[in-house]
Amino acid sequence: MEPVAGQEARRTLPDGLADAIRGTAEEIAALLRGVADTGAPVPRSQWSVGEAAAHLAQANELMADIAAGNERSHGDGTPQSLAQANERALAEFAERGAGPLADMIVAQAGAYLKAMDQGPAEEVVLTPLGPMTRAVLGSYLLTHMLGHGYDLALAVRRPHMIDRARVELALPFMITAMPRVTNAAATAGLTACYRVRMRGGTGFGVTFTDGAVEVDAQPPVRPDCTILIEPVTFLLMALGRCEPWGAIAGGRVLAWGRRPWLAPRFPTLFTAP
């Protein structure tokens, strides 16, 4: 019997990731299908709703193609080059209709899951943010959809789709990508060890040694600073959608340890991709 599309993905991807990818794409599509004017602006962005949706459709297609084993060039891995590549791609892609873009976002998320049937999850592929496994690429796809899905939800004044479970599934990508988006000017000369823990969930460690960064899925035993953060706040802050001081003032971020004053500095050490 032939496997149902996505069935093998559930066996090879981390538990829940396939369903989160599919569900997030469908929720974004549902937001779009209720939009009459895709020329409306996205808050805190230079893009319109139609441009943000077109970017998502293009990005989903790019990641599905990479998962299928095809080499694709999209910037040089720096946040600045990714932004430039995104703008070039948008200029070459005319579709801004809500319905067609909604269909494309869902279809290309499904194409990624179908591609996962064709090879092992731990196979390394080259992505816009450097080498990563095909499974971590799925975490990247989910994280990217959550960030722009949040933007679109704000634009159309509907609830966003980020929750604790999806943030946990985004962590493998975040841990992989953080060393690649370190702000060299902000980390110059810094020696410090952070433990970052999701409230009610898992965590990771980030160690700076004279500015060089190492991120580990296993939290350090003796960190200089422990940061306990509400999961949705963590993802929004990591993606540049949330200001740290407001989160700290609202009690969504707590810090302690030998050097707790390092906590407010932590978000500034990275540039959101």
Q: Is residue 92 part of a domain?
A: yes
Domain C-terminal end among 136, 152, 177 = 177
Residue 9 has pLDDT above 50, yes or no: no
- Range 234-239, long-range pairs (CB < 8 A, 24+ positions): 234/167, 234/196, 234/198, 235/143, 235/146, 235/147, 235/162, 235/167, 235/170, 235/174, 236/150, 236/162, 237/267, 238/174, 238/267, 238/270, 238/272, 239/143, 239/146, 239/147, 239/150, 239/272
Residues 144 and 262 placed together within one structural domain of the fold: no
211 and 157 in a common domain: no
Same domain as 160, residue 27: yes
3-state class of 1 per DSSP? coil
Instruction: For residue 261, give its domain range.
Output: 182-269
Which helix (H) or strand (E) segment holds residue 159: the answer is none
User: How many of the other CB atoms lie within 10 Å of CB of 121?
Assistant: 19
String of DSSP letters for 27-43: HHHHHHHT-S-TTSBPT
pLDDT digits (tens, 9 = 90+) for 212-252: 999 999 989 899 999 999 999 999 999 999 988 888 889 99
Tell me, yes or no, whether 12 and 122 share the same domain.
yes
Q: Does the pLDDT at position 130 exceed 80? A: yes
84-127 confidence digits (pLDDT tens): 999 999 999 999 999 999 999 999 999 999 998 888 888 999 99
pTM, rounded to two decimals: 0.93
Amino acid in position 17: L
- pLDDT tens digits, 67-77: 999 988 888 87
The DSSP secondary structure of 250-272, one letter per residue, reads TTSEEEESS-GGGGGGGGGGB--
